[in-house]
Amino acid sequence: MINYPKLTEEKRLRRLTYPQGRIRMVLDTDTFNEIDDQFAVVYALKSPERLQIEAFYAAPFFNELSTGPQDGMEKSYRELKKITALLPEAEGIPIYRGSEAYLPGPETPVESEAARNLVERAMASSEEDPLYVVAIGAITNVASAILMEPRIIEKIVVIWLGGNALHWPDTKEFNLIQDLHASRIILDCGVPLVLIPCMGVATHLQTTLSELRDYVYKRGAIGKYLFETYEGCCNDHFAYSRVIWDIATIAYLQNDSWCANSLVASPILSEQFHWSFDASRHFIRYIYHIQRDHVFRDLFQRLE
């Protein structure tokens, strides 16, 4: 049985207090899976006064765009290379390959370059300057790092786009359902966690091709890349909008007033992917509403 460090209530609440100043962070992303990861990567890189990105990690995914989690991770790694080549802000930021499989059990990590690097960076962090781990895919890499070195719980804050809103009928959301063991570890181990759900919360972050044509397309090579990526995701853009889910994590770090939130007991994840609740469990910070217009205005202005 894994012995996770137990944070005092005082320390947990301090970790879950909104951070001031410049934030040290790593970004864990299944970049090839959807089109929203690309927007989140660019948003983060275009925010150097607020975010000090120390590394990118490629996360596994498995759907019609990959032959398995290893292939999904490798495609995400290559997509990260492609995006960062377009932005001078990315120069010198390392990119690491992540897990080639999902966790085989609740106590067995999948070692990878990403997980090892996360352990190293986290353990080098001071009490006064925790590492923010922003995750916008399956949480396998992060859970593996925690299993490999549980003491990093005392050194990091995880911000995860995962699951659906706590009031939703189910939480069968792609990031969460891919790796049940990893998702449970993040919710159960006691790591300071900011949870941003998809359905019912990040669903507000919709945009259209015409909006991106007006405010993104002419913003250099990266604007053209983002526009064409969005354009290619659908054959018919008439009366069509799409959710750019993953920018919710970066938006929270930009301005918490855009992301209404509260402290709640960490929910319990069932094998059938439903939430249940126990008020005696440790607190997490839960985002329950996002102000869409503020977020897109900030993103578009940064692209200028």
Cβ(83)–Cβ(225) below 8 Å: yes
The pairing of strands 242-243 and 259-265 is: unpaired
Write the DSSP assignment of 23-47 as a string of letters: EEEEEEE-TTT-SHHHHHHHHHHT-
User: How many CA atoms are closer than 13 Å to the CA of 291, on its beta-carbon side?
Assistant: 13
Q: What letters, b where the CB count within 10 A reaches 16 and e where it falls short, cover 197-210?
A: bbbebbbebebebe
Cβ neighbours for 215, distance < 8 A, ≥ 6 positions apart: 300, 303
The label of the residue with tokens 């354009």 reads 231
pTM of the entire structure?
0.97
pLDDT at 127: 83
pLDDT at 1: 84
Helix boundaries (H) for 173-257: 174-177, 180-188, 209-215, 220-231, 247-254
pLDDT at 152: 98
Could you read off the pLDDT tens digit of each residue along the chain, which spans 304 residues?
A: 899 999 999 999 999 999 999 999 999 999 999 999 999 999 999 999 999 999 999 999 999 999 999 999 999 999 999 999 999 999 999 999 999 999 999 999 999 999 999 999 999 999 889 999 999 999 999 999 999 999 999 999 999 999 999 999 999 999 999 999 999 999 999 999 999 999 999 999 999 999 999 999 999 999 999 999 999 999 999 999 999 999 999 999 999 999 999 999 999 999 999 999 999 999 999 999 999 999 999 999 999 8
Q: How far apart are CA 203 and CA 206, in angstroms?
A: 7
Any idea what the Cα angle at residue 85 is, between residues 83 and 86, rounded to 5°? 70
**Which of 267, 273, 271, 264 has the alpha carbon at shortest distance from 106?**
271
Nearest-Å Rg of the Cα atoms of the chain is 18
Cβ(104)–Cβ(89) below 8 Å: no
pLDDT at 292: 98
CA dihedral 216, 220, 222, 228 (to 10 degrees): 60
Distance of CA 259 to the CA centre of its chain: 15
Cβ(114)–Cβ(130) below 8 Å: no
Strands (E), the chain: 23-29, 51-58, 95-96, 131-135, 156-161, 193-196, 206-207, 242-243, 259-265, 268-269, 275-276, 283-290
**Which of 51, 223, 54, 79 has the alpha carbon at shortest distance from 137?**
79
pLDDT at 296: 98
